[in-house]
Structure 1
Amino acid sequence: MLQEFQQHINLKFPDITHGKSLLTISGGIDSVVLAHLCKQIGINFSLAHCNFHLRGEESNQDEVFVKNLAKQLEVEVFTQAFQTEAYAKDHQLSTQLAARELRYSWFYELAAVNNFDYILTAHHANDSLETYLINTIRGTGINGLTGIPERNDKIVRPLLVFSRNQIEAFAKQNEISWREDSSNASDKYVRNKIRHHVIPQLTEENPKFLQSFQQTQQYLKDTASLLEDYTTILFSRLVKEINGKYFLNVKDVKETPHTKAVLFQLLQSFGFTEWNDVYDLLAAQTGKKVFSKTHQLVKDREVLILSAIEKTKDQIITIENEQAHIQWDHKQISIENVSQMNGFGQNIAYLSAQKIKYPLTLRKWQAGDRFIPFGMKGTKKLSDFLKDEKLSPLEKENTWVLISDEKIAWVVGYRIDQRFKVEPHTTTILKLNITHEK
């Protein structure tokens, strides 16, 4: 497997060998094997381990194991403890979603502060298969069937082409020890049920089921890419935007092959779920409406008009100092000076207080805005960044930015600017925390 891994890195991720990576590690077999593989082929990396305090002493022993592994491999290690259950309760999330939000936010913060070029995770082929089956059970479009991407922004998953069996064989052949997560044996979670019961039965029917799935998934990825390009072309032909409203010509939509599927592709970002009602609008009388939680679609003679139900009035908020508590857009933002980073999440940002100039401005993003996403060296159009993040039109519309000295310091909820990042020599840190009104 070592030779295959080296070839895979050379072919798909050659830039990793010249950069600095943060390898996320739980202590389980997948991430431990990834650490050994990276060490053996000379990748420059540090370890990052999250203690979610969900399994009592077992969680603490995982942390001890990772620290000892770091000594063995002679690499730097970062650890962070989270009160996951409390965070989940405060933010009305499941424990799994809370843990995911906490860890990825922390990984990105570590990458920014310590200038890591990449964040490596140990997802493998079986993980991608399980995700596909979970999405199939719950119901999904084609994007939900394409599995876990090999690369997404700074996240790189170099083990996705390898199976769990290959990883286990490598660990045993090289006498590598790892930690077993006791929760993996439980059928409490859907993923475990699929792993323990569904996939073994499918593999019994077809011993090469995983390989067949990987081939099928590649076809699905190609199809999804083709569909995205086609939808972009259709949107420009069928939809006109005037003063924030979208107008769809009914005649043109009807004449487009696979009309119902086309409507779904054009409108899925706006939260509609009653697709039969949406389709029926094409033949409905003027004035007929269909609503989503955020938008309404209205039949007006020969057009369908799409508009937001309630659009927050554009405003500019001025923040005079670090003691401010601001209310805006059904949210609150608190700002304070702290000595260290403690607590992470999508709605929390840490900036270097020395680089901040008051007053700060909070406003909606605008065409022409540019910033330097942390981890990058050059500026990027904010519109391109939002596109890369695959935000829906509604999410783009409701994106805010925090401005300091006419520069974007934080794309709120998404990314800080490299110029305002916390560095090792930073003495005072500005913590910004957004909470939703209850």
Structure 2
Amino acid sequence: MMNNFLVKVASTIEKFNMANKSERLLVCLSGGADSVTLLLCLYELGYDVCACHVNHHLRGEESDRDQHFCEKLCEKLGVELKVFHADVVGYCKEHSVSTEEGARKLRYDFFDSIGADKICTAHSLSDCLETAIFNLARGTGLKGICGIPPVRGNIIRPLINCTRQEIEDFLKERGQDFVTDSTNLTDDYTRNKIRHLVVPRLAELNSSLFGSYAMTADRLRTDSDYLESQGLEAFEKAVLPKGYDALCLRQLHESVRRRAIMHILEKEGLTVSHDSIEDIDRLILDVGKANIKGGVFAVCSKGVLSFAKGEMLEN
């Protein structure tokens, strides 16, 4: 008989149609409590699992310790493990990106190269809430408040409805140890400050904080999914041989129109940002032109929204 935690994970997988038993699932295993729990849950639920570990070589002996822990755990379970050694410092220097961004790019490139049906990451409800707070502090829309999506393409997150405390309780019950990344224990990073300082204060205001957020996020995702579908439908109807039907877009509710504009920007290969959406929205509601990126202009004239380079406008 499954315990309550396993039932919760199984229910989450079913609710979001994450995976079936015929698929091979790749568990991204860091050795931390979340990923160890994810591996054990999917293994105990009878899924065909394999695992991967990325050694970023950013924390010296601690990085090697994490790798050896994952190797021993997978050997004990009889689960295939693939290890990738990432030169994060070299990659970031070559591509002029932050350590966090470079490490993430290398990780997901490695995950994709393995060729499993689904990639399973161990993001929890705690991570989801922290992400929502982080996005809210920076300024965000509906998607940002929803936090981390349970499913994104072939990436699934079976622990997305479980709190960090529930995860640690599950491991304690089984007598299963895990490793701790020392950088998670400091308040040097913004997310750690949210985890250690902000969330505990919110929990003082509402002892059911995580349950309340889970319910809210679930409702907001439903609303967001509906608006996204309406935005895509509006975008598809607005496509013309040489531009987009501004008159059609003008009649839409602002929430739907702005989502249609996002699809337009993506189709034109332009950056989707608050400013670019605002610029095009103003053009649709009026006429004129706006510099969207470099020499690329959006032009609205005679009911048609189109894009052109600056020199083309002069000719």
Distance 2:234 2:123 in 1: 35
* CA–CA distance in structure 2, aligned partners of residues 283 and 77 of structure 1: 55
- Aligned-partner Cα distance in 2 for 1:107–1:10: 23
Q: Is the 8 A contact 1:297 1:304 kept in 2?
A: no
Partner of 2:298: 297
Q: Give yes or no for contact 2:146–2:217 (8 Å, CA) kept in 1.
A: yes
- d(CA) in 2 for partners of 1:150, 1:163: 14
CA change 1:13–1:226 in 2 (3 A) is: closer
SS at match of 2:21: helix
Q: Structure 1 residues 298 and 14, CA, compared in 2 at 3 Å: closer, same or farther?
A: closer
Query: 1:27 aligns to what?
Result: 31
Compare CA radii of gyration and give the structure with the larger one.
Answer: 1
1:246 counterpart residue number: 244
1:223 CA drift (Å)? 1.0
Equivalent in the alignment of 1:173: 173
* Residues in 1 aligned to 2:234 and 2:150: alpha-carbon distance in whole angstroms: 28
Number of the residue aligned with 1:77: 81
CA distance in 2, matches of 1:299, 1:189: 44
Report the CA distance between 1:10 and its aligned residue: 5.5
Q: Match for 2:57 among 38, 53, 58?
A: 53
Instruction: Give SS of 2:307's match.
Output: strand
Matched AA of 2:187: D
1:196 aligns with 2:196: yes
1:296–1:308 CA contact under 8 A, matched in 2: yes
What is the total number of aligned residue pairs between the two structures? 298
Equivalent position of 1:342 in the other structure: none
Q: Which amino acid aligns with 2:241?
A: I
Aligned to 1:200, the other structure's residue is in SS state: helix
Contact map agreement 2:246 2:305 (CA 8 A) in 1: yes
Change (3 A) 1:277 1:157: closer
Residue 142 (structure 1) aligns with: 142
On the 8 A contact 1:16/1:118 being kept in 2, the answer is no
Match of residue 98 from structure 2:
94
User: Could you give the per-residue CA deviations for residues 279-319 of structure 1, whole angstroms, max 9, x where no partner exists?
Assistant: 554676x6x3211116422242x4253214389xxxxxxxx
- Whether the aligned pair in 1 keeps the contact of 2:120 and 2:155 (CA below 8 Å) is yes
How far the C-alpha of 1:204 sits from its partner, in A, is: 0.7
- Aligned partner of 2:35: which letter? S
Counterpart in the other structure of 2:261: 267
For residues 168-205 of structure 1, the C-alpha deviation after alignment (integer angstroms, 9 at most, x for no partner) is 11111211100010000122221111111111111110
Higher relative contact order (CA 8 A, sep 6+): 2
Unaligned runs of 5+ residues in structure 1 are: 312-438
Counterparts in 2 of 1:50 and 1:254: CA distance versus 1, 3 Å: closer
2:244 is paired with a residue whose SS is strand
Question: Aligned in 2, Cα 1:195/1:63: closer, same or farther, shift over 3 Å?
Answer: same
1:83, distance to aligned residue in structure 2 (A)? 0.8
Which structure has the highest helix share of the two?
2
Give structure 2 stretches of 5+ with no counterpart: 266-270
C-alpha distance in 2 between matches for 1:108 and 1:226:
29
Shift of 1:266: 2.9
Query: Is 1:16 equivalent to 2:20 in the alignment?
Result: yes
Q: Deviations over 1:78-110 (max 9, x none)?
A: 111111011112112111111111111111111
Change (3 A) 1:231 1:11: closer
For the residues of structure 1 that align with 2:119 and 2:234, how far apart are their CA atoms?
36
Structure 2 matches for 1:227-376, cutoff 5 A?
227-237=227-237, 239-243=238-242, 245-249=243-247, 253-258=249-254, 261=255, 263-269=257-263, 270=265, 271=271, 273=275, 277-281=279-283, 288-293=288-293, 295-300=296-301, 302-309=302-309
For the Cα contact (< 8 Å) 2:291–2:297, is it kept in 1? yes
Normalising by structure 2, what TM-score? 0.85
RMSD value over aligned CA atoms?
A: 2.6
Q: Give the structure with the larger strand fraction.
A: 1
Supply the distance in 1 between the matched residues of 2:125 and 2:99 (Cα, whole angstroms): 24
Quote the Cα distance in structure 1 between the aligned partners of 2:278 and 2:113: 44
Check whether the contact 2:234–2:249 (CA below 8 A) recurs between aligned residues.
no
Q: TM-score, structure 1 length as denominator?
A: 0.62
Matches within 5 A, 1:381-420: none
* 1:21/1:45 contact within 8 Å kept: yes
Which amino acid is 2:161 matched to?
Answer: V
Q: Percent identity?
A: 32
User: Cα gap change, 1:281/1:182 in structure 2, threshold over 3 Å: closer, same or farther?
Assistant: same
Q: 1:24 to 1:185 in 2, by over 3 A?
A: same
Q: Using the alignment, how far apart are the partners of 1:283 and 1:43 within structure 2?
A: 52
1:164 offset after TM fit, Å? 0.7
User: How far apart in 1 are the matches of 2:257 and 2:112?
Assistant: 36
